[in-house]
Amino acid sequence: MQLRLIATLLVLFGSILPLRGQGLERPVEAATEEMVVDALKQLNCRFNVDEWKFNIEMGKRTFKLYWLDNGKRLALKASIKGQPSLQAINRYNEKTASTSRVVQNEKLGLLLESGVDCQLGITTAGIRKFVIRFVGEIGEFETFVANNKDVAPIAPIDVKPIVKGEKQKVPMNIDPGSDDKSLTITFPTGDAKWETAWKIIWDMESGEQANAQGYKTIKKVKGEDKEFPAFRAGRSALLFKIKKAYFKPGQDAEWIQVLEDAHPQEFYVPYYFKNTRFYDLRDVGSYVGLSAKEGGAISQPLSKAKNVMAELRDTGVAYKHGNITRRGEELTLWANFGAANYTYMIEYGFRDDGVIVFRHSPTGYNYFNHFDASHMHGSYWRLGVKLGPEGNNETNQVYSVNLPSDPKQQGDTNGKLDIKEITKESFLDWNAQGFTRIRVTNPNYTIIPEAKDRPPLPISYDLVTYPQGVARHKRNPDEKFSLHDYWITRADCPEKMYVNLGNYFFNETGAVSPKLRNLENQNVVLYHSSSALHTPRAEDGILKGNSTSNGQATVFWTTFEMRPRNLFLKTPIYRSLP
Ligand SMILES: [Cu+2]
């Protein structure tokens, strides 16, 4: 392929030469080099030719026109400055780009490309329009890149080597003036080539603050429903909230919000022995101050109140095959809710692979010094979910996901999970054989493109639970909130209290309430409980009674997690041993 007409680096000014062929031209099936030259001359642009490649300068923009297959195809390519995230590029290609598309080239960086198949018929005027439109699209894409810049880059985080016995601070950035309540961590920690990050905004809220946010309870007064503030007024900390959590699945990726107000909302402890029962969060205790000494090797208490510990933990091997392996990390934020004789440990684990682990454990002194005083320690969580980047996180869908146990449904022709969209405020139960998960997706945000056999896969988070058992309490009429494992409401649901969900979902006859609303693809709140059955043993220090000198019940955790799905193009932080 050669250009006979022009030697390399011939610079022409279009205005010098006469126009030719305008208006009279018939379409041909291959563009000649002369047609390209004419078109460029008519556009008054500077250009030079390097064999089959035209280097063009038009206005402030430079780009290349490729004369391919003896003119059967023409392609335009422009190098674009800027570093939009992969997701932003995909979004541009899917939604904004009309005749061009953006590709990330390993050597050349970001390229905007457009092509024309001349075999369908091409004229000089057509080439001219092709170039003009492309110049317009460069401008559009530059504007798109400017408007889709990611939020402020994360400043490098300093990590010092660990000296045995010494304590180190967690390698994270704390936003000044936030009372340690707004923080960012990158993973792997201490690595300039970090690959994932969490931005977390947490708070400890008092009953007074929660009541002001509309946390109410309804009680019957003389046969009529009356609203009362949900919590005890006062300043002590009752709600340990993750107000917002954002995950970044790559240095160039957008921050993806996951949580919007998540917290344990009740610690309900019914004793089967004597029907003694406690709503410990509502009625008894509050979160307590912590000592720095209680934290691990890499830890620090947070905020002036020091009632939350930040701790960096090694979570063991994240994956392994041969020398392709690495150890995982988790930023744990933990607190302790003191409720008279008992206390509860509450942990949020923000893992380097995007998983959030929610843990609760009782510990402390048994209420009854009796081996038969078995009781349930229930932790009732509100999980506000708002999945997606800022500006695109208001549309979410919810699904239940179950493995079918009927062999017919598991057969070769089916063999698919039973995935059902939940379109209305609902409750459902965990099914052991179904490995039930609740999935929240953002149908408007996809990084896994469409393939031959499937549509694009939206980003999702699965609520995956690890129950030791399923606690149902039916002895008392106010325990209806324990009758199901998952409750799903809209984020704007007037009922914000887990312990009142029974009254919201059912009417007095026990029938499902007609007031339940459609989810309408809005943000949702998932309510889920995790329970630990405590069957007292000598190791709990009960033989000689409930005393500090006699020992206490050690922790026994309940756990569930929110697990990302299709937020990455490959295994997160995929590395080999050095
Ligand atoms: Cu107990």
Q: Is 458 helix (H, G, I), strand (E, B) or coil?
A: strand
* Whole-number average pLDDT of the chain: 90
Q: 534: CA distance to ligand 1 center in Å?
A: 5
Location of structure tokens 């999935």: 439
Given a cut of 90, is residue 463 above it in pLDDT?
Answer: yes
Q: CB of 511 within 8 A of CB of 337?
A: no
Distance of CA 504 from the midpoint of ligand 1 (Å)? 29
- DSSP conformational letter for 263: E
Residue 233 C-alpha to ligand 1 middle, in angstroms? 27
Residues measured by CB to lie within 5 Å of ligand 1, the ion:
534
pLDDT at 5 over 70: no
pLDDT at 395 over 70: yes
Ligand 1 centroid – CA 273 distance (Å): 12
d(CA 573, ligand 1 centre) in Å? 39
Query: How much of the chain, in percent, has pLDDT values that exceed 70?
Result: 93
What's the token pair of residue 159? Answer: 């990590």
pLDDT mean over 261-285: 92
Give 163's pLDDT tier (boundaries 50, 70, 90). confident
Exposed e or buried b per residue across 16-29, where buried means at least 16 C-beta atoms within 10 angstroms of its C-beta? eeeeeeeeeeeebe
Q: Choose between 242 and 409: higher pLDDT.
A: 242
Task: Name which residue leads in pLDDT, 135 or 106.
Answer: 135
DSSP string, 334-351: EEEEEETTEEEEEEEEEE
How many angstroms separate the alpha carbon of residue 271 from the centre of ligand 1? 9
| 3-state percent helix, strand, coil for the chain, nearest multiple of 5 | 15, 40, 40
* CA–centroid distance, residue 377 to ligand 1 (Å): 6
Position 413 scores a pLDDT of 63
State the pLDDT confidence band at 105, using cuts at 50, 70 and 90.
confident
Centre of ligand 1 to C-alpha 358, Å, is 19
* Alpha-carbon span 283 to 269, nearest angstrom: 12
Most confident of the following: 3-17, 131-145, 284-298, 408-422 = 284-298
User: Residue 153 — very low, low, confident or very high, per pLDDT cuts 50/70/90?
Assistant: confident
Ligand 1 centroid to Cα of residue 376, in Å, is: 7
Our CA angle for 173, 174, 180, nearest 5°, is 155
Name all domains of the chain by residue range, CATH numbers in brackets: 12-147 (3.30.1460.10), 173-291+373-534 (no CATH)
Q: How far is the CA of 347 from the centre of ligand 1 (A)?
A: 18
Amino acid sitting at position 479? E
- Residue 502: alpha-carbon gap to chain centroid: 29
Confidence of residue 222 (pLDDT cuts 50, 70, 90): confident
pLDDT at 497 over 70: yes
Bridge partner residues of 531 (DSSP): 378
Are 399 and 441 in contact by the 8 Å Cβ rule? The answer is yes
What would the 3-class secondary structure string for 145-177 be?
Answer: HHHCCCCCCCCCCCCCCCCCCCCECCCCEECCC
Residue 532 has a pLDDT of 96
150 pLDDT band, cuts 50/70/90, is low
> Is residue 74 within 8 Å of residue 116, measured between CB atoms?
yes
Report the predicted TM-score, pTM, of the whole model to 2 decimal places.
0.76
Answer whether residue 335 shows pLDDT above 50. Answer: yes
Higher-confidence position of 570 and 87: 570
Q: What's the gap in Å between 285 CA and the centre of ligand 1?
A: 15
| More confident position, 214 or 412 | 214
Can you give the pLDDT at residue 515? 93
State residue 546's pLDDT score.
67
Give the tens place of pLDDT for each residue, 279-295. 999 999 999 999 999 99
User: How far apart, in whole angstroms, are the C-alpha atoms of residue 549 and residue 165?
Assistant: 28
- CB under 8 Å to 10, separation ≥6 — which residues? 48, 49
CB atoms within 10 A of CB 519: 21
- Cα(194) to centroid(ligand 1), Å: 42
Percent of the chain with pLDDT over 90: 69
Q: Residue 212: which pLDDT band, with cuts at 50, 70 and 90?
A: very high
Q: Which of 74, 118, 125 is nearest to 100 (CA)?
A: 74
Q: Which of 210-214, 224-228, 347-351 shows the highest mean pLDDT?
A: 347-351
Collapsed DSSP state (helix, strand, coil) of residue 51: coil
Per-residue confidence (pLDDT) for residue 556, from 0 to 100: 96
State mean pLDDT over 137-155.
78
- Say how far apart CA 261 and CA 385 lie, in whole Å: 8
140 C-alpha to ligand 1 centroid (Å):
63
Q: 123 and 28 in contact (C-beta within 8 Å)? A: yes
Please choose, from the candidates 56, 47, 49, 71, the residue with its C-alpha nearest in 3D space to the C-alpha of residue 123. 71
Spacing, Cα 259 to ligand 1 middle (Å): 30
pLDDT tops 60 at residue 450: yes
Calculate how far, in angstroms, residue 161's C-alpha sits from the geometric centre of ligand 1: 40
How many Å lie between the centroid of ligand 1 and the Cα of residue 212? 32
- The whole-angstrom separation of Cα 471 and Cα 483 is 8
